[in-house]
Amino acid sequence: MTIQKTLQLFVIIVCLLLPTTNFSQSKKKKNKKTEVVAPTPPKKKDNGIKDYSEVITKDAITDEGLFKVHKIKDKYYYEIPFNLLNKDMLLVSRIAKLPSGLGGGYVNAGTETNEQMVVWERFQDKILIKVKSYNAVANDSLPINISVRANNYEPTLYAFDIATFSKDSTAAVVDVTKFYSSDVKAISGLSADMRDAYKVRNLDDSRSFITSAKSFPMNIEIIQDFTYNASKPPVHPETETISLQMNQSMILLPEQQMQPRLADPRVGWFTVSQYDYSSEALKSDQKTYIRRWRLEPKDPEAYKRGELVEPIKPIVYYLDPATPEKLRKYIKQGIEDWQKAFETAGFKNAILAKDPPTIEEDPEFSPEDIRYSVIRYVASTTRNATGPSVSDPRTGEIIESDVIWYHNHLRSYRNRYLLETGAANPSARTLDTPDEEIGEMMRMVIAHEVGHALGFPHNMGASCAYDVESYRNGAFTQEFGIASSIMDYARYNYIAQPGDTNIRFIRQIGPYDHYATNWGYRWIPNETTESETATLDKWIMAKDGDVRYKFGKQSSRFDPSAQTEDIGNNSIKASTYGLKNLKYVAEHLPEWTSDKTNDYEDLNELYGELLGVWSRYVGHVVTHIGGVYEDTKKPNQSGVVYTPASKDDQKAAMAWLHENAFASPTWILDVNTLQSTEYTGYTETFRSLQARHLNNILDFDVLGRLIDGEVVSAENYSALNMLQDLRKGIWKELNSTKSVSVFRRNLQRVYIDRMQYLMTEELKPSRFGSYYNVNQSDVRALVRGELNTLRNSIKYIKNSVSNTETKYHYEDCIKRIDMILDPK
């Protein structure tokens, strides 16, 4: 073909094509028909962000709520609205299911493993979840806020790539699968100690997965099923496996924050603290707020008139579906016993107990769901109960709480009921305690734990509010119980004696509980956090000097009036009554146990606990030695905060201890019981009990307080007075040539060993005590002097003793003292 013909043919083809194309477009427009065109793959965006339909496909199962949660096969996506970025949320990690024995018995289904405030932030094409702290704050409008933020930079818990944006471009979509299926330590159920104890190697990805994800209007709940490879798991060691379920709750904190209430150490509350750099003072202002539920009256005007008013949102506790039916009424009573205290604060029906909803009523009910406060019933051999809560760190507002009851806890209460009240209380002298009495015990334990969940710590001073003799008065105990607060560890009336009538033996809510509830929960209108403190202070001052309204911190273990497990305002007198009752119980213990069951199991268990009761009564008296009374007050109140126990009181305590604690045992080591339950260890059992209390007296902190007491007044019981009185009592046999019993020989060697400790050890900082330079204090000189005096006394008497064991004992003691005083 010639070039000319080729060109002609090309022109013809082009001409034919052009009109056809034009015609086709014109026709489409005219007839308004859509041409079916094969789909073309979308262009990949440079930043990797895809179109919404590519990520959230038609296979997605979507749950609407705080965030939209999308499940696509085994992947989970959060669709996070931009208007929820930088909003404060709480991320609460709890164990939902666990193997038996994990954590040593005090970890259970429902145990919280971490609680942290988080915010979701956008950084370029990523969404970050950052852990936020409210330990340091400043007003946003002040320049110093820039420094506060710069010096309190929040850690990034996880960074997510933005997968896509919502169709209306108001939200970012991120894949959270890896975050919730990886071993992220901050939300893990295994602590560092557990990982070390169980030799945890790693999370097994092939056996770990997300079980469910549910979104609700204010929270999201994730269930994770995790399996770890571990060389020493708590159960089934052959599997080298630990499997547990975790529940991750994320809740949006209130946009309108509750008005916080400033704490006052004269009224006991759990608290949250923060340093406010907005202060005009020359330093940051530490503000401490009480932790409490948000209670606001439905009818403010009626409330102002003094009428009882229901709160807008009452406190509601649900019973765990696992709770045995016969116990439910007692648990409900324990919860709603607090209604009277809230009435003192002006609210009616402020706290309610409800059965768990049925599947029809609420198919999504879960005890782990942070929307519900639950009394958890745990199948565990642990004997305990707890009342933790989750609170807003910005204000102290309690968001949710779970009271945890361990199944076997009632057995410990039955045992103590028998041991501590059996002498005066015939109905306690049995292994089959009447149901109503067991129920009453459970009711009061629940009330105690609910008290914690309402914001109240232990008030160990409440049991010292009543005179010892009042516990033998039926009318008094029925009205006032055995302590001024349910928050004390005052479980039973062990003072009442056989023949006393109409006695209440079990604790109950008292006047302090009403007072503290009113102080913390009463609504004070038209006041700010700062201005309402004047009113709060007036309420405290109105009770000034009345011991029923005194708060005694559990940490004040140096204070004889703030002890655990004691009752009455005189520990020496109370413990005398207690030991008198315990002697009666010890004598009859086989009659009430093994004689009935034809088995020694209960006798063995109760006898071991009887020794513990004896030790508690002794310990209450020991605290008087070097004791310091604490009476928290402000400068406008008369008197001082700290007052050493009087010399007479301490000398009386020392004399009591020599007579009741350090003398050779006669009644407490029952030979028949021991020979029926143990084949050995008779002397060691009592040696260890005596050693505990002797060591607590010969303690650096005790000696330091006694030395300080001499500075307060020369009339106070001095460290030298105490050491002399102790030596004379422990070694009273040196006043004669009598033989020394095996129990006393053991005790005397404990004494020498402890004196060696005081001569050679350094005082380490303590949670409960102070620290001072022992080497440069009087301690070593006093101990050295007492050992020299003791050595001389032993040398003087040892050759006059005829008993061979006693003579060998004295010779050994001289050698031991020589080695302490001259180690070379």
Return d(Cα 274, Cα 288) in angstroms, integer.
7
- Please check whether residue 489 lies inside any domain of the structure: no
- Please check whether residue 386 lies inside any domain of the structure: no
Note whether 792 and 747 are same-domain residues: yes
pLDDT, residue 45, reads 55
Provide the residue count of the chain: 824
Note whether 33 and 57 are same-domain residues: no
Question: Containing domain of residue 759, as a range?
Answer: 624-663+698-824
pLDDT digits (tens, 9 = 90+) for 601-644: 999 999 999 999 999 999 999 999 999 999 999 998 999 999 99
Note whether 722 and 821 are same-domain residues: yes
Note whether 101 and 226 are same-domain residues: yes
Return d(Cα 758, Cα 724) in angstroms, integer.
15
**Low pLDDT (below 70) residues in the chain:** 1-47, 105, 135-153, 276-284, 379-382, 384, 407, 766-770
* 206 touches 198 (CB < 8 A): no
Neighbours of 764 (CB within 10 A): 8
pLDDT, residue 291, reads 96
Strands (E), 176-240: 200-203, 209-215, 219-230
Backbone angles phi, psi at 284, to 5 degrees: -65, 145
Note whether 787 and 656 are same-domain residues: yes
Note whether 33 and 85 are same-domain residues: no
- Please check whether residue 452 lies inside any domain of the structure: no
Q: Is 86 left (phi over 0), alpha (psi -120 to 50) or beta?
A: left
- Please check whether residue 332 lies inside any domain of the structure: no
- Please check whether residue 810 lies inside any domain of the structure: yes
From 219, 252, 285, the end of a domain falls on 252
- Please check whether residue 759 lies inside any domain of the structure: yes
From 201, 222, 252, the end of a domain falls on 252
Instruction: Please report, for residues 131, 425, 502, 617, the alpha-carbon distance to residue 611 in angstroms, rounded to integers and kept in the order given.
Output: 48, 20, 28, 10
Note whether 748 and 629 are same-domain residues: yes
Domain count, the chain: 3
Note whether 749 and 807 are same-domain residues: yes
pLDDT, residue 112, reads 87
Note whether 57 and 206 are same-domain residues: yes
* 569 touches 465 (CB < 8 A): yes
Q: Which of 563, 694, 554 is nearest to 620 (CA)?
A: 563
pLDDT, residue 150, reads 58
Cα-Cα-Cα-Cα dihedral of 817, 819, 822, 824, to 10°? Answer: 170
Q: Which residues are paired to 386 by β-bridges?
A: 404
pLDDT, residue 381, reads 65
Note whether 72 and 15 are same-domain residues: no
Note whether 161 and 20 are same-domain residues: no
Backbone angles phi, psi at 69, to 5 degrees: -110, 120
pLDDT, residue 6, reads 45
pLDDT, residue 108, reads 77
- Please check whether residue 551 lies inside any domain of the structure: no
Backbone angles phi, psi at 708, to 5 degrees: -65, -35
- Please check whether residue 104 lies inside any domain of the structure: yes
Note whether 640 and 764 are same-domain residues: yes
Instruction: Please report, for residues 73, 596, 798, the alpha-carbon distance to residue 307 in angstroms, rounded to integers and kept in the order given.
Output: 57, 56, 80
From 208, 233, 252, the end of a domain falls on 252
